[in-house]
Amino acid sequence: MDAQQQQRQQGVPARPRSGDGGGDFTPILTVLVAFIAIFALIVAPSISTLNNSVSILHQVPEGHVGVYWRGGALLNTITDPGFHMKLPFITQFEPIQVTLQTDLVRDIPCGTKGGVMINFEKVEVVNRLRKDHVYDTLLNYGVNYDNTWIYDKIHHEINQFCSAHSLQQVYIDMFDQIDEKMKDALQADCTRYAPGIEILSVRITKPSIPESIRRNFENMEQERTKVLIAVEKQRVAEKEAETQKKIAISEAERNAHVSKIQMEQKLMEKDSARKQEEISNSMYLAREKSLADASYYRSPTWFLTKGYLGTFCKRLYRGRSLRDFSIMFFPLFEHGNSPLLNVIFVCVIPRIVNGKYQAVLYEDLIRLSKRLDIDLVEI
């Protein structure tokens, strides 16, 4: 009994022969291979888990460069953004960002110099990996280089800073300097050990401190605010007083200037009035003098003057000069024996003459004095 008969007896169907009209699986295998190829070229690049090993066609996004490993060894091939080809299952691919990126580090506990535990809830580090240093950085520190030089390093630097300063310094006095200090510390180590990493800035939020201490700081800040308000009020009051003083000084200077002008004006008016009075007095004096002269010349005794008597004596004693005569004075009175303006009149008599000339002159003077009813006095 052959094998086919045994299979029929056992109820097992026999395999059809190839020459007996059996099915051909070659088209199915061809379609399956084509489907796998299409999946590897199109579908697989969109799946990140399969992209590194299975896909043939891969994409490098903008702002990144493509880095490749073959058999676990880093290749020195660096590709730019765009589509690229690689060997599936043999070559692994990883995009590395070379533009600005922000690494967020959360919950950094630290202890201050005084032993108070505080916690920095969020620290942001803005950094960039230089394109020309991608190979060296990944060769030395791997794809997660930022874990070593940013995440771990920021923990270390913040704890170093807190341990060297008090809570007052960390929380208030030097808080505005922590950002720059952390940036300088990170950049110094990166420049020395990983020169491709550039630290651009560090932003640190206010740390959380124990509630009791926080209330004390709030109360202290309120008191400081009150002091500042009082100082500002005092400064404003001083400025207002100084302004009022300047206004008063300006007003006093203005009043003094006005008073000076008014005084000068009054003095000018007085001087003008004085000049007018002097002119009036001069006019009055001239008028009175002219009236007195007119009255004098109308008087019958006007001729009893020195000049007239001198002429009279020359005519009476021809050839004699005025030096040859003595001078006699006698007052002139009006009718009623009242002095007339206290005028003193002059008459002359000869000095060196004989008794005849002298007697004649005396007789003339006596006749004149009798006619005028005056007393003759010789000095």
**Strand pairing of 82-85 and 73-79?**
unpaired
pLDDT band at 362 (very low <50, low <70, confident <90, very high): low
The pLDDT, as a whole number, for residue 194 is 92
Looking at the fold, whether 189 and 156 belong to one and the same domain comes out as yes
The pLDDT, as a whole number, for residue 38 is 62
Q: Looking at the predicted structure, is the pLDDT value of residue 77 above 70?
A: yes
The pLDDT, as a whole number, for residue 41 is 53
The pLDDT, as a whole number, for residue 372 is 55
Looking at the fold, whether 73 and 117 belong to one and the same domain comes out as no
For the record, the structure tokens of 247 come out as: 């206004």
pLDDT band at 42 (very low <50, low <70, confident <90, very high): low
Q: What's the rounded mean pLDDT across residues 170-185?
A: 91
Q: What's the rounded mean pLDDT across residues 80-107?
A: 91
Q: Is 82:51 a contact under the CB 8 Å cutoff?
A: no
Looking at the fold, whether 76 and 107 belong to one and the same domain comes out as no
Which domain-ending residue is among 154, 180, 209?
A: 209
Position 152 in a domain: yes
The pLDDT, as a whole number, for residue 220 is 81
Looking at the fold, whether 200 and 241 belong to one and the same domain comes out as no
Looking at the fold, whether 246 and 204 belong to one and the same domain comes out as no
Residues of the chain with pLDDT > 70: what percent? 65
Q: Looking at the predicted structure, is the pLDDT value of residue 369 above 90?
A: no
Looking at the fold, whether 37 and 117 belong to one and the same domain comes out as no
The pLDDT, as a whole number, for residue 197 is 94
Looking at the fold, whether 107 and 204 belong to one and the same domain comes out as yes
CA distances from 58 to 95, 102, 135 (A): 10, 26, 20
Q: Is 332:374 a contact under the CB 8 Å cutoff?
A: yes
pLDDT band at 1 (very low <50, low <70, confident <90, very high): very low
Domain span including residue 365 = 306-372
The pLDDT, as a whole number, for residue 217 is 77
Q: Is 119:107 a contact under the CB 8 Å cutoff?
A: yes
Looking at the fold, whether 55 and 146 belong to one and the same domain comes out as no
The pLDDT, as a whole number, for residue 52 is 61
Looking at the fold, whether 131 and 190 belong to one and the same domain comes out as yes
Structural domain count, the chain: 4
Position 1 in a domain: no
Q: Looking at the predicted structure, is the pLDDT value of residue 146 above 50?
A: yes
Backbone angles phi, psi at 170, to 5 degrees: -70, -40
pLDDT band at 359 (very low <50, low <70, confident <90, very high): very low
Position 174 in a domain: yes
Q: 360: closest CA among 303, 308, 320, 313?
A: 313
Position 284 in a domain: no
Position 15 in a domain: no
The pLDDT, as a whole number, for residue 121 is 92
Position 338 in a domain: yes
Structure letter (DSSP) for residue 206? P
The pLDDT, as a whole number, for residue 215 is 83
Position 16 in a domain: no
Position 48 in a domain: yes
Q: What is the CATH number of the domain that holds 123?
A: 3.30.479.30
Q: Looking at the predicted structure, is the pLDDT value of residue 204 above 90?
A: yes
The pLDDT, as a whole number, for residue 307 is 53
**Which of 74-88, 187-201, 214-228 bottoms out in mean pLDDT, i.e. has the lowest?**
214-228
Looking at the fold, whether 123 and 188 belong to one and the same domain comes out as yes
Looking at the fold, whether 186 and 151 belong to one and the same domain comes out as yes
Residue 171 burial (CB count, 10 A):
19
Looking at the fold, whether 118 and 194 belong to one and the same domain comes out as yes
E strand intervals along 37-100: 57-60, 64-70, 73-79, 82-85, 91-97
In b/e form, how buried is each residue of 257-291, taking b as 16+ CB within 10 angstroms? eeeeeeeeeeeeeeeeeeeeeeeeeeeeeeeeeee
Which domain-ending residue is among 70, 96, 122?
A: 96
Higher-pLDDT residue of 337 and 226 is 226
The pLDDT, as a whole number, for residue 338 is 39
Q: Looking at the predicted structure, is the pLDDT value of residue 199 above 60?
A: yes
Tens digits of per-residue pLDDT, 94-139? 999 999 999 999 999 999 998 889 999 999 999 999 999 999 999 9
The mean pLDDT of the chain is 76
Q: How far apart are the first and last CA of the chain?
A: 218
Q: What's the rounded mean pLDDT across residues 84-94?
A: 87
Tens digits of per-residue pLDDT, 261-319? 989 988 999 898 888 988 998 888 888 888 877 776 555 444 445 455 555 555 555 55
Which domain-ending residue is among 164, 188, 209?
A: 209
